[in-house]
Amino acid sequence: MAIFDTLGISGSGLMTHRKWLDAVSDNIANINTVTRTNEDAFQERLVVAQAVDYGSGEGGVRVARAEFGDPEGRLVYEPNHPLADEEGYVKYPDIDLGGQMTQMMMAQRGYQANLAIVERATNMYQAALQLGKG
């Protein structure tokens, strides 16, 4: 393990958690997006993370892929909505706000933990440089 691997590993965690937060915020922002019943509903975006060189103590983490929720959504009876079909239904995405808030808290905590590691490693590297000056 090289001396600056800590920054690289934590930096990859920061990037992955940021992408996770982006996906969750996009899902929350579109939770009330209405479409016609003959169109696909907004699809929830899910981020799948993968360890790089798992078990080696090196490599960090990366976003392996994005997965998408069900395009079927859920039908809601709103006969006065301008996008309603002849039976009075519109389509909303099938996204659970409580689940999204939980995902957001987990991603925030992971981001904060990785940021704390970067800050501590930076302080340690700076302190080591100061030892050489004395």
Annotated domain spans of the chain:
5-133
Task: For the chain, 134 residues long, give each residue's pLDDT as a single digit of tens.
Answer: 566 788 888 999 999 999 999 999 999 999 999 999 999 999 999 999 998 887 776 778 999 999 999 999 999 999 999 999 999 999 999 999 999 999 999 999 999 999 999 999 888 888 888 887 76
Tell me how far the alpha carbon of residue 108 is from its chain's centroid.
9
Residue with token string 């440089």 = 129
In contact, 92 and 43? CB cutoff 8 Å: no
What six digits make up the tokens of 73? 């959504």
First to last CA, the chain: 27
**Residue 76: which of 45, 36, 103, 46 has the closest Cα?**
36
- What are the angstrom distances between the C-alpha of 95 and each of 49, 83, 129? 20, 20, 50
18 Cβ neighbours under 8 A, 6+ residues apart: 111
- Exposure of 80 in the CB half-sphere (CA atoms within 13 A): 0
